[in-house]
Chains A and B, each alone.
Chain A
Amino acid sequence: MSEGAAENLGETTRREVSEARAARSRYLSDLAATAAASRAARPSRRGLRPDADEEPAMTVLTDRSLPEESRVGVLQRLASSISRRAEYIEAILAIVKDRSDSAAVREAALQVLGSAAFQVVRFRPHQQEYDDALHDLVADPEPALRETAVSILAQQHDPVVQETLLEGLRGDGPLPVERERAIQLLAEDDHLDNLPWLQEMYRSGSESAREEAVRFMGSYPAAQTTLEGILRDKRESKGVRQQSGASLRYLAPDRFEVIAKEISTDTTDDPEVRTACLSALQHLGDTDRVYADADFVNRVQDVSSDESAPQVAQVARDLLEQRPNP
């Protein structure tokens, strides 16, 4: 870097630091003013320390009479540091649990707690109370809060939320989230009996839902035949077929190889699916075995000169060029 460029960089950095300091100073000043007004208006709010030493952020955060954006602003500012402050975690947990508080503030509070929970060691003393709050939210009237809570718990393989989702899917109780979402969340745990739900989702879902269902089926050896059928199904969308190929390759690489060889050299099939199959055969799995299959290599040679499918032909030529001993 030249001396001039270094000087410019230094100048830019100094300016940015100065601007950030000024912004922080303005924010703190505004916060202090808001907190002072809050204290003056309601000096003896329940649940708060009445002393004047209370931090402005805590005052603003817990004053439900203040505009949502002020409190959400405080939450956003606190996000990176609350795991070090037990009193803030407790205050934020109280906000999340309070169904009479603003939904926007509760959502922001839940998001902040979710981030703090990643600081596993620091958050450890609060983890159980946080999980309890999430369990409470599973039946919350706010759909967004329900969705977030159910997602977090399902990803932890929480048995209580898994049971709630299963009961909902069976029609034995209310479903806290959309049916498709419930199936996806249960599928996070491959020790559950998810295959029937995934098959339902595949039969009745949108294209993206079908793709998700097929992705999760990759954990179930019993889904092998279904995946083979989907990969071969020319009426199915390209995306879903390609995902079924990936899942089948994960589950039964030998079967994937057999079917991918058929599809990639089938001139009546979709060029994109054929290209994906050829690429997988060339780059993934047992490539030595692929090249050792003389019949397949001969068919790829035909494909490589097929002008009606130039994209497939190009990948076929690549595959032949990469052959160890052509």
Chain B
Amino acid sequence: MTALESSTPETEVGALIDALRHLPQGPDELAALLPENLPMYEKRSAAEMGRLRGYLLAAFADTGLPDAALPYVIESLETGHIAYEVAGAAIGLRGLETPSVGVAASLLRAIDNLSGADATVSFESYKPAWPYAQPTTALTEVVRTIGHFGVRAEAALTELELLARQRERFPSPLLEEMRRVLDEAGAGHGEPACDAACECESCGCVPAVELGSDDSCCADLALPEQVQDHASMRAMLEDQDGRPESFEEFFRGKPSVVAFFYTRCDNPYKCSLTITKLAALQGSLEERGLAGALKVTAITYDPDFDLPNRLRLYGNDRGMQFGEDARFFRVTSGFQEIRRRFGLGVNYGPSTVNRHQTEVYVLDERGDTSASFTRLQWEVEAVLRAVENLFVDVELRRL
């Protein structure tokens, strides 16, 4: 593959993506471009990252979608707030041979997220000029993908029936596309869909899985490369009240849940939602009498800008109850160390974060990662289960 660097013009990256569409090694080489923390993405703006991501994902429609790329496609469907990226993910998903139950849910979530925020986009070339020769929209592509899977995405078709009646919510051309898809699926619509309980050997399909759940096949694929050894961690932190803290000391002695975020994140389905869920997790831990047994924390990706008062306000506004074991941090020294330690899925433009995944980690009392919830949307209940499992492990170790 051509060596790509942060200085490689985005149009050249676009040309490479086009070249890979038709090569046998295309799927794997395209998948290798997906992690946002690759050096080639440094110093690019968030807008450029969104364009590259959307175009890259859409290419999987031509090459076929490899397993390694599926979590990225699902991530963009579930958390994308820019029409181009979501459209690219919806198109790329058509490279998947057999959809799973989780895929239908992700497509429906994309419709929910982008309702009212859809836009005209085009994949006719990389960065085409307005007006487009082949215009489309994110929701049109999501609906077409539901149509592409047909009865294999039964749950999505059923929901589409309801959505197609919401005239006050969607523009007329999209409603027409929904009707077209439903009409075409009409003949087979109603046949049983493949689900987790399906006997795959008998029906010949791939077993359906709920992406994002604990036991998802893709959750493992999404795990970043992490350095488990934390013995030499010298990173220093500062909390929401300006109090200094050593990373190593703070994350020892008690298990912790640590989320990563930054206050300038403009995607409502990423940092803002992560911190809101973290506050909900805090409430659930309290209800279960586990509040004192665990630290609930978050660390900003943007330590230069996220000063203590910003961390405090951001947490307060989303329901966090700060205390000795519930603190938000910025890293005052050794951020690169922490980036490597967790294998953070983040990269930086000239001014701030240009792209990041969602990431929440459960650490044991030694500061080692016991569970991670990265890229795909995480649920409070799933983290609670991981925490409870960790407590059992800790008890067993004591015995």
Q: Residues on A close to B: CB < 8 A? A: 120-122, 124-129, 131-132, 135-136, 138-139, 157-160, 162-164, 189-195, 219-222, 251-253
Which residues, 4 to 51 on B, are CB-close (under 8 Å) to A?
45-47, 50-51
Q: How many pairs of residues, A versus B, come closer than 8 Å at their CB atoms?
A: 88
Which residues, 230 to 271 on B, are CB-close (under 8 Å) to A?
264, 266
Contact present for A125 and B167 (CB under 8 Å): yes
Q: How far is the CA of A120 from the CA of B168 in the complex (A)?
A: 11
Q: How far is the CA of A122 from the CA of B127 in the complex (A)?
A: 32
Residue with the greatest number of chain A CB neighbours at <10 A, chosen from B46, B47, B127, B169:
B47
B191: interface (CB < 8 Å): no
CB distance from B333 to the nearest CB of A (A): 15
Contact present for A136 and B131 (CB under 8 Å): yes
CB distance from B274 to the nearest CB of A (A): 18
What are 24 pairs between A and B in contact, CB < 8 Å?
A120-B116, A121-B116, A124-B115, A125-B172, A126-B171, A128-B119, A128-B120, A128-B171, A129-B171, A131-B119, A135-B131, A136-B130, A136-B131, A138-B130, A139-B130, A157-B266, A159-B50, A189-B46, A191-B264, A193-B45, A194-B351, A219-B351, A222-B351, A253-B307
CB distance from A201 to the nearest CB of B (A): 16
* Residue from A128, A139, A164 within 8 A of B118 (CB atoms): A128
Contacts of B45 in A (CB 8 A): 191-193
* Residue from A125, A132, A221 within 8 A of B169 (CB atoms): A125
Contacts of B349 in A (CB 8 A): 191-193
Contacts of B130 in A (CB 8 A): 135-136, 138-139, 160, 164
Contacts of A160 in B (CB 8 A): 130
Question: What 6 pairs between A and B have smallest CB-CB spacing?
Answer: A191-B46, A221-B304, A193-B350, A124-B116, A159-B47, A125-B171
B328: interface (CB < 8 Å): no
CB distance from B347 to the nearest CB of A (A): 12
Contacts of A221 in B (CB 8 A): 304-305, 351
Once A131-B120, A191-B46 are accepted as A-B contacts, the answer to whether A124 and B169 lie under 8 Å apart by CB is yes
Looking across the interface, which residue of chain A has its beta carbon closest to that of B175? A125
Contacts of B84 in A (CB 8 A): 159
Contacts of B172 in A (CB 8 A): 125
Q: How far is the CA of A191 from the CA of B301 in the complex (A)?
A: 14
Contact present for A190 and B352 (CB under 8 Å): yes
Contacts of B115 in A (CB 8 A): 124
Contacts of A121 in B (CB 8 A): 116, 168
Contact present for B351 and A190 (CB under 8 Å): yes
B137: interface (CB < 8 Å): yes
